[in-house]
Amino acid sequence: MRQALPDVVLEDWRHAATGPMRLTILPDGCRDLIVAFPRHAAARCLVSPLHSTAETVECAAGDRYVGYRLHPAAVFDAEALLAAVHGRAEADEAALLAVLDGLARRDANLAEALAALASTASVAVARRTLGVAERSLERLVAHATGRPPAWWQGLARARRAARALTGGDSLAGIACAAGYADQAHMSREFRRWFGMPPGRLRTDPALLAGATASGYG
């Protein structure tokens, strides 16, 4: 029976490489606790960074991974978390989740700020919605995540537009609805975040699934 996930975890995931492959990791605004089981090496744990663009990961046949995607507003000390799970990669899932539940938390103020940034047209509008000063918003978001408010707003808009690619709307219509100046502007932002234009992303089911998976925005 699957373990119940703590509040700080959005979802868990698993991947097994059936052969040598290159995985493209797209930005989702989340950090993951990943347990890697290489076929010819000892299991290990790692915490993924906040990706700002597409990254490629090489997998060998037989490699396995178990991941716990943390909420964008998760606050934790990565070094302390890894130290706590050191040597526990082979432990049962309940032990790892207990460590996560004890050392990571979802910050309510940060969650509110990120939600406002994801749902408004500009950082200034988000600030007014929250009723905070510009420097206060900058300090809260940048201190907790290492990324400024504009970074989060740009990612949310790109992911919102990527989700719209699963429908039948034109690229120009999607760009307008997502708040881009025009289709060319959206294409530049997609290249920045996803490493490819929206037309290519739309025709690649695996990459589109990655761009629209659970995460921020």
Q: Give the count of beta carbons closer than 10 Å to the beta carbon of residue 160.
A: 17
Q: Is 175 helix (H, G, I), strand (E, B) or coil?
A: helix
pLDDT (tens digit per residue) in 100-124:
999 999 999 999 999 999 999 999 9
Mean pLDDT (whole number) for 23-41? 94
**Per-residue confidence (pLDDT) for residue 94, from 0 to 100:** 86
- Domains with residue ranges and CATH for the chain: 9-106 (no CATH), 108-211 (1.10.10.60)
Strand bridging mode 21-25 / 55-59: antiparallel
Whole-prediction pTM: 0.94
**Per-residue confidence (pLDDT) for residue 91, from 0 to 100:** 66
pLDDT cut 90: percent of the chain above it: 89
Which contiguous run of DSSP H or E holds residue 183?
helix 183-194
pLDDT (tens digit per residue) in 163-211:
999 999 999 999 999 999 999 999 999 999 999 999 999 999 999 999 9
